[in-house]
Amino acid sequence: MIERMWLRGISREEVKQAILRGQKRTQKKTRLTESLFSFYSVVYDEYVYSKEKIRKVFPVTVKTW
């Protein structure tokens, strides 16, 4: 994941912004979430632990378009 970010010139802060502000859609096959933002999108998996009210986000890949 980090190598793909570097190759596309996208920083960690930009990935965070995309996850927080981007338009979200769920991929049907893999059930991963894709967040569209600016000129790129971030595909990630999110787990929500309801007892502790914790959300874990695991980025999978970064796409440019």
Q: pLDDT digit of tens for each residue in the chain (65 aa)?
A: 778 888 888 999 999 999 999 999 999 999 999 999 999 999 999 999 988 889 999 999 999 88
Rounded Cα distance, 48 and 46, in Å: 7
Domains of the chain: which residue ranges? 2-64
pLDDT at 17: 94
Rounded Cα distance, 8 and 49, in Å: 32
- Beta-carbon contacts of residue 8 (< 8 Å; ≥ 6 apart): 40, 62, 64
pLDDT at 14: 93
Closest alpha carbon to 47 in 34, 57, 35: 57
